[in-house]
A and B are shown apart, each in its own frame.
Chain A
C-alpha cells in the first residue's frame, strides 16, 4: 500500500490542514501576540501550497516578503503599541454571531462554487502534466521585462503585436512601492506625543481598563 500513496496529495493535506487551523486560530485567539504567531504559520503553510502547485519562485517570495517582512512589521507594530500587560479586548457576543453568520454564508457560497464544477474536481491524467513543473523564475522575470514567454505561440498577429508582458505593471508597481514606503516613513515619524483629552463622563467607568 505504501507504493500507491500519492505523496503530492499527502503533503497538500498537511499544508492545507496547518493553514486552515492556523487561520481559524487567528480568528479565535484574543491575545494579539498569539494571533501574530498563528498568522506566521498560516502564511508559511500557504507558501508550502504554492510550492506544491508548481509556483516555486512565488513560494520563495511569499516566505521572504510575507513571513520575513510583513510579519516582522506587524510584530514591531504590536511591540510599539503595547501599553502595560497585553489587555485582550473582547468583542461582544452579538457581533460574533453576526460575523459568524455572514462568514458562514459566504463560505457556503464559495465552497458550493468550488465543488460544483466537475472539471475542477480531479484533473484528467492525460490533460495535465504529471512531472514536476518547470522552474518559473526565469519565465516570470522575462515576463516582467516585456517578453511574454508563455504566449509566444499566439497565432493571431493582431493580438501578438499588443502583447508586452507585464512591463507596464512592473514599472507602476515599482513607483508605487517607492511612493508608499516614503509616505509611510513620513507618516510614522516620531512626533511630540499629544496628551490625551480628559476622559468623558460616560467613559469614566469604562476607562478602568488600561490602554
Chain B
C-alpha cells in the first residue's frame, strides 16, 4: 500500500471531509431524536472545516500570492465559534420542545400549535 510511503496530498483530506459531510447529512435526515439531528449538524460543520484547513495548509498547497493561506484557518476558527453558538441555541430550542411535547421525537411535532 503506497499510501504509507507516499506523501499525503490535498485530495486525501477532501475525501475525509466529504465522508464526514455526507455522514452528517444522512444523520440529520434520518434521526428522529432532535439531539441526533444536532449531532449531524456538528459532523457537517467539521467536514467543511477540514476542507478549509486543507486548502489553507502550507504543507498541501504551495504558498504564494494566490494561495488561501492563513485565511483557511481563520474561516475554520469562525466556523467553530459560530457552531458553538448555534449548538447552544439549538439545545435551548430542544429543551423547550421537550418541555411542551414531553418527547424528543421530532416526528411528533407535526402541528403548528405549540
Contacts and interface: CB of A to CB of B under 8 A. Distances in A.
B12 to A, nearest CB: 7
Contacts of A83: 102-103
Interface string B27-46: 10111110110111011001
State the majority secondary structure of interface residues on B.
Answer: helix
Contacts of B13: 49, 53
Could you say which interface size class chain A belongs to?
35 or more
Given A74-B38, A99-B30, A55 B8 contact: no
A89 B29 CA distance: 14
B7 A123 contact: yes
B46 A9 contact: no
Q: Considering residues A35, A81, A96, A173, which has the most beta carbons from chain B within 10 angstroms of its beta carbon?
A: A81
Could you say which interface size class chain B belongs to?
35 or more
Contact of A80 (B21, B25, B98): B98
A20 B20 contact: yes
Interface in B35-91: 35-36, 38-40, 42-43, 46, 49-50, 53-54, 56-63, 65, 69-71, 73-74, 76-78, 80-89, 91
Interface string B100-112: 1111110100000
A103 B36 contact: no
Given A8-B8, A23-B43, A99-B30, A58 B77 contact: yes
Contacts of B77: 58, 61, 140
Interface of B: 3-16, 18-27, 29-33, 35-36, 38-40, 42-43, 46, 49-50, 53-54, 56-63, 65, 69-71, 73-74, 76-78, 80-89, 91-96, 98-105, 107
17 contacts: A6-B4, A8-B8, A16-B12, A19-B16, A23-B19, A27-B23, A39-B39, A57-B73, A74-B35, A76-B91, A113-B14, A114-B18, A120-B10, A122-B9, A180-B88, A183-B92, A211-B102
